[in-house]
Every structure is written in C-alpha cells, then in structure tokens.
Amino acid sequence: MRKVALILIDIALTALAGVAALFMRFGFDFQEMAKYSPSVWIYVLVSAVIYILNGNHKVIWAYASPSDMFSLFRGTLLSYLFTVLMLHFWKIAILPRSVGVMMFLGSSVLLMMSRIFWQWISGYSVSKGEKRVLIIGAGDAGTMLLEDFERRPSLGRVVAFLDDSKRKIGRKIRGVPVWGPITRAMEVVEKLNVDEVIIAIPSASKDQMRRILDSLDLRKVRVRTLPGIYELTDGKARVGHLREVSVEDILGREEVKVNLEEIGSYIGGKRVLVTGAGGSIGSELVRQIAKLKPSLIALLGKGENSIYTIDERLADEFPDVGRVRIIGDVADQRWMRRVFEDVRPEIVFHAAAHKHVHLMEENPYEAFRVNVLGTKTIAELSCEFGVERFVFISTDKAVNPTSIMGLSKRVAELYLLYGVKECGTKIAVVRFGNVIGSRGSVIPKFQEQIKRGGPVTITDPRMKRYFMSIPEAVSLVLQAGAYTQGRDLMVLDMGDQISIEELAKTLIMLSGFVPGEDIEIVYTGIRPGEKLYEELLYSYERVYDTPHRKVLRVKSARTFEDVGKVVEEIEKLLPGGDFRALVKAAKRIVPEYSGRWNDVDGDK
C-alpha cells in the first residue's frame, strides 16, 4: 500500500506540474488550455510507466542519498524525452515546447521536494529530544559522518561542527553551523546542550588529539573518535567506525608509511613461518603478512586458543591465503625439525619469547630455554633448510640488562649476529621497546584497576618507557626485513620515552575520572629486574640511516668471540638448574648484566 501510495503521489505531482505549465503558458485562456491538455495527460501516463520502471517507489526515502535523488531526475528526464519522441512520430496530440520543458522542470522539482520534505519530517520526528552531537573536524570525514547521521536519525542529531579553520568558522555545512576554534569545545558543549562529542579527524596526530581532549571535560560529555587514517581502509568515515577514545590515540596514532613494494618483493608468493603467531606482535605480523599474498603462512605457537583465534580471523579476512596451524614449543628440537621438513619455509619471523620481566626473574629456566635455546633451534634449522630471511623480534630490555629476560634476549641477539654458522640465510635482529595494548602490559593492567575503582599502582613516579602502537611496530619490522644484507641489527626509532605516571593519569582521565580524586594512585616500589628507564643502544653501538627514517641500522664497535661456545655451555648447564653458573657463563658475552642473579646461590 505504501508503494502504491507513493506511485499515485508521483503521478499527482507530475499532473500538477502539467497543469501549472499550461497555466503559465496560456494564463486564463481555458479554451487554449483544453486544446493542448491531451498532450499533458499523455505525458502523465508515460511518466507513470517510467516512474514504476525507474523504481521510484522502491527507495526508503527517509534514508535517501544524493544518488537516489539523481534517480528521480533520471525518471523525469526520460519521461520528457519519451513523450516528445512519441508525439513527434505518432502525431496524436501537440505538446508546446514551453509546456513540455516547464512540465519536465516542474515535475523534477516537485518530486525531489516531496522527498526532501519527507526526510525532514522523518528526521524531526525521530531525532527530536534524542542525542545531540557535536563533530570536531569540519572536513571530509566530518561531512561523511553528518550524512550518515542524517540517514539514520535515530542515532542522534548533529547540532554543530567545531573547527580551527577560519575559512569554515561561521559558515554552514548542509545547514549545520561551524563553530570554532576547537579550544572553545566545552563552551559550545554547554551552550548547545551537547550529549556527545565526536572527533572526526582521522589524520590527527597524538599531539592534536591531546590538545582536543584537554579542551573537553570528559566527566560531563561522552567523547568518541574515528580510527586513524591508516585504519580506515576504504577511506570512508561512518558512524559504525566510531569508538571510544583510547590511549593509542594519544601515544601511537601516527600513520606509518612503508614501502610495500620492497616488503612484498621478499614475502609475496613465499612460504612464511611465524613463531609466536598467537601473541600480540605475532598475530599482527600474520595479519600484515597475509595482505602481501604469501603462498602459505605457518602459524606456530604454544597456546592452542591464541592460534585458533588468529587462524579464524585469517579465514575471514584472507580466505585465499594458505594456512598451516602448528602447536609446538620452539625449544623442542625434534618437533621443530619436523615442522621445517613439512613446511619448508622460505621466510621466518621469530616472535616467540617469554617477555614478562618479573615472571622470568622467578623462572630463569624458562627464560633461557625459550629465549636462548628456542632461538638457537629456529636459527639453526633456518640455515639448514635454506631459509632466505630470518627476522628476530628483540627488545630494548636487552640493552644493559638488569633482568633475566633482558639477559636472555641479549644472548639471543648475539648468537644470531655472531654465533650462527655462516649460511645463505639473511638474518635481521629488530630491537624496539614496548607496544601499546600487548597482553600483560601495563596499559591493560591500569585499565582493569580503573574499572575496579582503583587504586592504580605504579612502581615508581620516575619510571619511563618507550611506546609504539602494534601496527606501527610490525610495519617497521617488515620494512627492516627488506633492508637486511646479511647479519644486521636494526633499531626502531621509538621517539621519546613516556612517563608511566603520566600514562596512568591519562588513562584515568579518558575513563572520565580525576586522577588523585576519583581514582587514587599508589606507588609500590620498583620490582626485581626493572629499570627506571629503558635504552635502545649500548655505548659502543652506532646508528646509521636506512631508506626509512624510523628504521636504523646498528653497527657495534666491539667484537664478540666465543658466542657459540657460550650458548652451548648454557645449553649444558640449564638442565642442572645452576642459575648462578648459567648467568656467569652468559656474562662472558654480556658483562653489562647487573641483575639480582649475580649474587644468588645456585641451589635457589
């Protein structure tokens, strides 16, 4: 019935346009009007048929887009052209040119205005009293969001834009005023009774995001944002993309541009093995590698649940990429040999490791078994089976280590650079700091403490750390793999170190609380193996540029001997559990270690 009613309305509006055209042409000369009226009714009949074929009645006009409006114009234009052609060849009636043109223009305007009026009525009735939205950013993304809200008025009504551009301030976008500058955010929120603020600037840097958030009182208004530009894969902003503002927006929102042609040249069409594929870094490696169309990705991990999860995601996002799921321990030499025999990998990314500092202080056996011997096993097999490139994920904690975890990773670094026998495999060791949002890191811990109402626990107010987003770090790891020439140590430019105390306060603020008032901050004291700050380089290491400004090549002024012998000695000592002797052996190549195991009796 709705479709029939819509067709009848369109026919009636077209007839009205015809009558108006006759009146405008002949005025009150009803005799002349009657003479030419048959042509108008033929026009109306032709229009009715074309409107049905054109599908005017099939569109849900409350959510119509500009393309739907164009289809209306197409229908009225075709109606005019068919009528003119039919009357020209059949001579059954005469349609004055002026009447025909005015009827075409009039019907186009009336049909479009009827839809616009319906949209206005529908939007007003649904959105009246609903959520009032302020969009920060009057650019393309903000305009796309406005259009999306107009199509779905039940989600809220955009009452204003906020922007710093003097060219836009004081003007309107689709009838919505643009206020500014952004520093007036709370003033506009209170003046317009805004319920929600949306930050629609995908290209915003972390500094811009902090400036915007500093201008808002997160206790009084909800704030959501669009993801960074590199996350909007199709370049289009929609309401469905919106999410809560996160710490990533302040710490790691930078877009990383890498040379996909270079990376694809060594990954595309190859069989790739990723160890630790279910972890934070490993799973992101797998996702980014899948985009480069390898012939096969072997997902190796010790935890079956994490491997299952990443495999399911790959199946959904990259169904054409071949996958092998392998549950196993990288330090299990017999099983890893079987894996290499079956998979025959051409590229290996070794991300499997024990990474939690304080846990490895209590479990040094596992730290050395997995981080050192596991790395030794995968590296030796890579050489034996002719792997083209081997990329190892290292850590800033390997520099001047104060923890067993850092010591074990440094030994692994040195083994790859100096201990592995010469072979055709190109080896890249990539060293970087903390990634935002990794499992077991400080950020999820703080978020859970805030959710419970506090307190948030910090070991020391002076503590600082490097931070980088997981996608950024992984993109640079892939880029570093393209630059390796043989046995190379690469360091990622992490920017400045960030205060853990400031990080905690930012997370509390983003949750809508006041640090120290709503959520208490408690200092617990530094734990064994932890540093107050991290380092990316030894004093004897020098950095050199690569084609990418965030990937640096490291050369050591110091030579290392007997690395292979030390690792073999560690392998022999490990089963006996004499950790003091084990650390003593490791210190022959890592004398910088200053952790607590220097002074611990072996029988403990």
pLDDT band at 382 (very low <50, low <70, confident <90, very high): very high
Structural domain contains residue 507 = no
What is the SS3 string spanning 455-493?
CEEECCCCCEECEEEHHHHHHHHHHHHHHCCCEEEEEEC
The DSSP letter of residue 156 is -
> In angstroms, rounded to a whole number, what is the distance separating the alpha carbons of residues 106 and 115?
14
Instruction: Point out the least confidently predicted range of 18-27, 234-243, 473-482.
Output: 234-243
Mean pLDDT of 554-563: 90
Q: Which residues pair with 133 in a beta bridge?
A: 158, 196
Chain segment 272-295, per-residue pLDDT in tens: 999 999 998 999 999 999 999 999
Report the alpha-carbon angle 54-58-59, nearest 5: 100
Structural domain contains residue 514 = no
pLDDT band at 429 (very low <50, low <70, confident <90, very high): very high
Q: Which residues of 153-192 are buried (b: 16+ CB within 10 A; e: fewer)?
A: bebbbbbbbbbeeeebbeeebeebbbbbebeebeebbeee
The strands making up 389-393's β-sheet, listed across from edge to edge, are 322-327, 296-301, 271-275, 347-350, 389-393, 426-431, 487-492, 551-556, 541-545
pLDDT band at 603 (very low <50, low <70, confident <90, very high): very low
Mean pLDDT of 591-595: 90
On whether the CB atoms of residues 266 and 294 are closer than 8 A, the answer is no
Mean pLDDT of 18-31: 79
Mean pLDDT of 81-109: 82
The values of phi and psi at residue 246, to 5°, are: -120, 170
DSSP per-residue codes, 359-405: HHHH-HHHHHIIIIIIHHHHHHHHHHTT-SEEEEE--GGGSS--SHH
300 is written with which tokens? 């190796």
Overall domain count for the chain: 3
Structural domain contains residue 480 = yes
Structural domain contains residue 517 = no
Mean pLDDT of 443-455: 86
365 is written with which tokens? 């056996």
Chain segment 521-547, per-residue pLDDT in tens: 999 888 777 788 888 999 999 999 999
Structural domain contains residue 303 = yes
> In angstroms, rounded to a whole number, what is the distance separating the alpha carbons of residues 108 and 599?
89
586 is written with which tokens? 């490791």
DSSP per-residue codes, 325-351: EEE--TT-HHHHHHHHHHH--SEEEE-
pLDDT band at 472 (very low <50, low <70, confident <90, very high): confident
The predicted pLDDT at position 588 comes to 93
Mean pLDDT of 470-482: 93
The predicted pLDDT at position 267 comes to 96
Put residue 12 in one of left, alpha, beta given phi > 0 → left and psi -120 to 50 → alpha. alpha
> In angstroms, rounded to a whole number, what is the distance separating the alpha carbons of residues 509 and 521?
13
Give the number of other CB atoms < 10 A from CB of residue 511.
16
Structural domain contains residue 152 = yes
The predicted pLDDT at position 386 comes to 96
Mean pLDDT of 193-199: 90
The predicted pLDDT at position 60 comes to 59
- Cα dihedral sign for 392, 395, 400, 402? negative
pLDDT band at 65 (very low <50, low <70, confident <90, very high): low
Which residue did the predictor score with more confidence, 55 or 370?
A: 370
With a pLDDT cut of 90, the percent of the chain lying above it is 40
On whether the CB atoms of residues 532 and 460 are closer than 8 A, the answer is yes
DSSP per-residue codes, 78-132: HHHHHHHHHHHHH-SS---HHHHHHHHHHHHHHHHHHHHHHHHHHHHHHHTTS-E
Residues 226 and 327 in one domain: no
Structural domain contains residue 188 = yes
pTM of the model: 0.70
pLDDT band at 89 (very low <50, low <70, confident <90, very high): confident
Q: Is 261 exposed, middle or buried (0-12, 13-18, 19+ CB in 10 A)?
A: exposed
Chain segment 126-167, per-residue pLDDT in tens: 444 478 899 998 888 888 888 888 777 778 888 999 999 888
Residues 284 and 150 in one domain: no
Tokens 């930078």 belong to residue: 254
β-pair type (551-556, 487-492): antiparallel
Statement: residue 50 has pLDDT above 90 = no
Q: Which residues pair with 272 in a beta bridge?
A: 297, 347
Give the number of other CB atoms < 10 A from CB of residue 335.
14
Residues 364 and 226 in one domain: no
Residues 362 and 404 in one domain: yes
The whole domain housing 10 covers 2-125
Residues 118 and 158 in one domain: no
CATH value at residue 136:
3.40.50.720
The predicted pLDDT at position 128 comes to 47
The predicted pLDDT at position 478 comes to 96
The predicted pLDDT at position 62 comes to 57
| Residues 6+ away with beta carbon under 8 Å from 257 | none
Last residue of a domain, one of 81, 108, 125: 125
Instruction: Point out the least confidently predicted range of 23-27, 158-162, 475-479.
Output: 23-27
Statement: residue 601 has pLDDT above 60 = no
Give the number of other CB atoms < 10 A from CB of residue 439.
12
Chain segment 205-233, per-residue pLDDT in tens: 777 888 888 888 888 888 888 876 555 54
Instruction: Point out the least confidently predicted range of 375-384, 429-438, 581-590.
Output: 429-438
Structural domain contains residue 63 = yes
Average pLDDT, the chain: 86
The predicted pLDDT at position 129 comes to 45
Mean pLDDT of 482-488: 93
| Residues 6+ away with beta carbon under 8 Å from 132 | 156, 157, 159, 192, 193, 194, 195, 196
The predicted pLDDT at position 121 comes to 66
Residues 545 and 411 in one domain: yes
Last residue of a domain, one of 189, 211, 245: 245
Residues 177 and 228 in one domain: yes
Residues 336 and 274 in one domain: yes
The values of phi and psi at residue 385, to 5°, are: -95, 10
Number of residues written out for the chain: 604
> In angstroms, rounded to a whole number, what is the distance separating the alpha carbons of residues 447 and 454?
9
The predicted pLDDT at position 30 comes to 74
Q: Does residue 429 sit in helix, strand or coil?
A: strand
Q: What is the largest CA-CA distance in the chain?
A: 118
Chain-centre distance for alpha carbon 453: 29
Residues 569 and 543 in one domain: yes
Residues 265 and 392 in one domain: yes
Residues 63 and 106 in one domain: yes
Residues 267 and 388 in one domain: yes
Q: Which residues pair with 347 in a beta bridge?
A: 272, 389
Which residue did the predictor score with more confidence, 549 or 155?
A: 549
- Which of 42-46, 62-66, 82-86, 159-163 tops mean pLDDT? 159-163
The predicted pLDDT at position 327 comes to 97
| Nearest residue to 373 via CA among 409, 400, 319, 347 | 409
